[in-house]
Each structure stands twice: as C-alpha cells, then as structure tokens.
Amino acid sequence: MGKTLLQAHILLCLTSQLCAAFSMSTPSFSNPKGCGAKPYEKKNVAILGCGGYLGAMAYGYLQRAGSLYGTGIAGLKSPRSITATAIGSMNLNSVLGKHFVLAQADESFVKLTDMTSCESIATRLQGMDAVIMCTRFGLENRPVTANTYEKTPNDKTKEFYMDKPARSSIAMEDSMEYSHMLVDNTLEACKMVGIQHVVVVETDSQFDRAAEVTASNIDKLNAAGIAYTYVRPQGELKNFRDHTYIKGIQQHMTVSKSDFSANTAGSTQSIYREDLSAMMVQSLISLDWTQSRCLDVHSDGELADNLKTADRPDTQWCMNSAVYGKVLEQLN
C-alpha cells in the first residue's frame, strides 16, 4: 500500500512538472480561430520577398512561432522563403542573424523561383497551406543564380523585396506593372496548389503616396477564390532602431474591418515594420482561415507598460504578441 501511494505521489509530481513546462512553452491566446485553434494541426506557410526587411521580419517571427506549441505554425517544412535569386536569401539571413539572435534559414527553406512562370511558383508552393505577400515589391536587376532556372549563362531577372530591401545600399527600382505580374502569377499558383489562405499587406503607398489600389487588389483576390486577410496600413512604414525579437511589439494598434472597396485617407502616425510583420503572423494564428476580410491598421502610439508581458523571451515567439492576439480575436 505504501509503495502504491509513493508511486502515485511521484506520478502526480511528474504530471505537475510537465504541465508547468507546457504552460511555459505555450503562448496565451484567449480564443484563436486561426491555426492557433488547432495547434496540433501544423500549418506550413510561405512568404514572398523575404529579401526585404518587412518579409524577413515576418519570416523570423514565423520561424519562432513554429518552434512553440500553441501557435499551429509548422517548424519542420516551413516557413518557406520564395525569392528570385540567391541575393534574396543572403539578405534574409542578414536580418535573421541580427534581429533574431543568430537565427538562419538554410537552403532547404529558401526556394529560388522564376516569378514570370505560374508553374514555377506553383512548384515552390507545393505542400504549403498559407502564403504571406504584399501588393508592391521593391525590385533589383540581378543575374539568374547558376543552376536554377536560367536558360543561358547571361540570363537576368528581378529580385523582389517586401517592401523595401533589407540593405539601403541596394539600387532599388519600382515597377507597378512588374509587381502586378508577381501578384497575378502568385494568386494563380495558389489556386493551382490549393492554398487555404493568403495574407496580403498593401504596400503601394510606400512607393506612391497617391496610389488608390485597394478596390482593384480586392477584386483580384475575390476572383482568385481564395480566402484572404488584406492588411491596409494607415501610415508610413518605418523601422524601429536596433530591434530584436526580445524587444517585441512597440506600438499599440487599432485594427478595424473595412469596406472592401473603400480607399481611405492615410494616417500621419507611422507604423513600425517590425510590428506590422508581427501583426501579419498573428493574423494567421488568431483569425478564421475560411473567411475573407479587409483590415485597416492604425498605430495608437507606443505600447503602454502595463500591456507588456513579464514572460521570458524564450517562451514567446514575439514579446507582447498577445496584445495583437486580443485585438484580432475580437474581429472573428
């Protein structure tokens, strides 16, 4: 009898320790309806334009989310970076190493893609469940990386960045027509491989302040027949100085559902790219993938101290991300 009680006590202690460890590694969400609703069903996510700072930050947050239970983000086959050339991979890894404490994406997670071919894009999206992309990409003329999709040794292509290159030294160009081609081809490829959800951030205003593109972009998404979350930042995007994932979210955001066809006046309050990238990742965790929505995002200024988490950084994919989780879950 005494031995049985001792064994029961040991089992109870082990169970308590496991529960404590589990709670330490599980982010706290109130009622997610996205992939966080069924965290055991891991979802694979691809991102276009990871050589850009916004895309690279989203990749880094996805990578961290995939390492924690409770997010529903897969960490074995994704996140997958879609770039045109090896320079996109180099820029991605420079951001990961600096802002995510020596993180990296090896060649198995980076797919060099001929973005002029829907079939090439579809091949790279095989096995993915969701895609993150933008509406206007920064572009750079580059030679096609050897032993990829070149037809001759002198073939050229355009590397594409979400939304601006990670390095200011890059000679970037802007072409609305080429960006439209990238979006159209990607949506067609998503249809071909059965992508469940796309997160699209509107970046046209970062290149052309007078651009009114929301209605046409929404028409494209509706025509594709894929459920989407269309994120429309109301304000100029800027970088937060010396940001790391440990610093986490810096701004409180107001997020509201918008009329799908409306073009609204922009805000004068800037939005940090680091926070916007976290919002994009959080939308996959919190929002129902079967529904489509257009979201206006406004910055309310710096995040109040009483909203910041006291949890250890190694237990969170992004410090203070629960703030965005609560904001988004109210929209389900």
**pLDDT (tens digit, 9 = 90+) per residue, 59-115?**
999 999 999 988 999 988 899 999 999 999 999 999 999 999 888 999 999 999 999
Query: Domain limits of the chain?
Result: 31-329
Question: So what CATH class is 31-329?
Answer: alpha beta
- Sort 105 into a burial class: Cβ within 10 Å, 0-12 / 13-18 / 19+: buried
| Average predicted confidence (pLDDT) for the chain | 87
Range 259-286 average pLDDT: 83
Kindly tell me if the per-residue pLDDT of 6 is higher than 60.
Answer: no
Burial of 281 (0-12, 13-18, 19+ CB in 10 A): buried
Give the pLDDT score at 210. 64
Q: What is the mean pLDDT of residues 124-131?
A: 98
Does residue 329 or residue 308 have the better pLDDT? 329
CA distance 295 to 47: 19
Question: Where does the pLDDT of residue 212 fall: very low under 50, low under 70, confident under 90, or very high at 90 and above?
Answer: confident
Q: Is the whole model's pTM more than 0.75, yes or no? A: yes
**Alpha-carbon span 193 to 241, nearest angstrom:** 39
pLDDT of residue 171: 80
- pLDDT over threshold 70, residue 271: yes
- Tell me the pLDDT band of 1, cut-offs 50, 70 and 90: very low
The band of 242, judged by pLDDT with boundaries at 50, 70 and 90, is confident
Structure tokens at 146: 């050897």
Asked whether the predicted pLDDT for residue 267 surpasses 90, the reply is no
The per-residue pLDDT for range 138-162, each reduced to its tens digit, is 999 999 999 999 999 899 999 999 9
> With 90 as the cut, is the pLDDT of residue 266 above it?
no
